[in-house]
Amino acid sequence: MSNGERYLWRIVFKNFLNSLRPRPLGNSIGKDYKGNIYYEIPANPQLGKRKATRWYDPPKGLDFQEPIPSEWESWLRMRRVDPPSEEEIAKNLAVANLKKINAARIEEERLKDGGLLPTPIERGAQSFPTYSEYHTGDPTTNPKK
At residue 1, the pLDDT reads 47
- Residue 136, domain member (yes or no): no
Mean pLDDT of all residues belonging to the chain = 82
- Determine the Cα–Cα distance for residues 80 and 54; give it in Å rounded to an integer: 12
Check whether residue 73 and residue 29 sit in a common domain: yes
At residue 97, the pLDDT reads 95
Check whether residue 76 and residue 31 sit in a common domain: yes
Strands 27-31 and 37-41: antiparallel
- Residue 97, domain member (yes or no): yes
Check whether residue 78 and residue 104 sit in a common domain: no
Q: Which helix (H) or strand (E) holds 10?
A: helix 3-20
- For residue 73, the Cα-to-chain-centroid distance in whole angstroms is 7
User: Which of 83, 98, 128 is the last residue before a domain boundary?
Assistant: 83
- Residue 13, domain member (yes or no): no
Q: What is the domain extent for residue 33?
A: 24-83
- Residue 3, domain member (yes or no): no
- Residue 32, domain member (yes or no): yes
State the DSSP string of 73-95. Answer: HHHHTTS-SSPPPHHHHHHHHHH
CB 77 within 8 A of CB 43: no
- Residue 144, domain member (yes or no): no
Q: Give me the residues of the chain with pLDDT under 70, please.
A: 1-6, 23-24, 118, 135-145
- Determine the Cα–Cα distance for residues 15 and 11; give it in Å rounded to an integer: 6
- Residue 35, domain member (yes or no): yes
At residue 132, the pLDDT reads 79
- Residue 96, domain member (yes or no): yes
Check whether residue 104 and residue 66 sit in a common domain: no
